[in-house]
Structure 1
Amino acid sequence: MTVQFIEIAGQKMVILPEAEYRSLADQAEERADSEAAERAEARRLDGEEYVPASLVERLVDGEAGLLVWREYRGLSQQALGEKVGLSKMTISSLERGKRDTSAKNWRALADALSVDVDDIMPFD
């Protein structure tokens, strides 16, 4: 490695050829990517759920979280309603934002879908 040490305004600096700098930068990026992958794998092994990008896109696009997560979990409105003691009509109305429900019901819905309440409650 070809380096030159200089001092500017009392601060030591290192000058090296661009190709060597780019090589070092690439190595640092590869190491950071590898470490991030290891952390992600550890979280997955600890039970963190991965979801498909299509689910995230639907949520980002503003679709109702309750609807998106219910469909992702493969539940009909009827089946989800039965799990939490609400009617199919109530589930439908909640998904369309036509009605609200109690915090207790939102928690029950979140538990039935294995998500946080914030993942399914409307933002309004």
Structure 2
Amino acid sequence: MAEDEYKMLLHAAEAAEDAEDVADVKRINERLARGEEELIPADIVNRILDGESKVKVWREYRKLTLRELAAKVDISPAYLSQIEGGSRDGTFETMKKIAAALGITVDELA
């Protein structure tokens, strides 16, 4: 293969990859506009990665007090505090309710 042909193929491949990237960004922006996706600030992600309670981090990110979230989920603040503190595991049903109240999936709390 001649060097010119190689450069032309390489350029075509790069252009195709760029077009894919543009299409991906457009899809993500559309999902953001529809409320199907959410951008999470790095400090929130870092707190989770550092091992903080996912329930607590998400609750604080959503600007809910412990009592407010407990009321939304219909559990006691003490039980929610134990879940956040790691001294008790929430049942799957409780974790589903917490996730729903926080507007996230159960997987995001796992």
Which residue number corresponds to residue 32 of structure 2? 44
Which residue number corresponds to residue 114 of structure 1? 103
**Deviations for 1:80-118, whole angstroms, at most 9, x for unmatched residues?**
111112222211110111101222111111111111112
Structure 1: state its 5+ residue gaps.
1-12
Structure 2: state its 5+ residue gaps.
none
The answer to which structure has the higher strand fraction is 1
The Cα RMSD (Å) is 2.5
Q: Does 1:101 align with 2:109?
A: no
Tell me which structure has the larger Cα radius of gyration: 1
How far the C-alpha of 1:55 sits from its partner, in A, is 1.6
**Structure 1 stretch 54-63 or stretch 72-81: which is displaced more?**
54-63
**Deviations for 1:44-76, whole angstroms, at most 9, x for unmatched residues?**
233222222222222222221101110010001
**Deviations for 1:31-55, whole angstroms, at most 9, x for unmatched residues?**
3432221121122233222222222
Give the TM-score of the pair, scaled to structure 1. 0.71
SS in 1 for 2:58: helix
Give the TM-score of the pair, scaled to structure 2. 0.78
The answer to which structure has the higher helix fraction is 2
Residue correspondences, number: 109
Q: Distance in 2 between matches of 1:28 and 1:102?
A: 48
Identity %: 35
Q: Distance in 2 between matches of 1:26 and 1:53?
A: 30
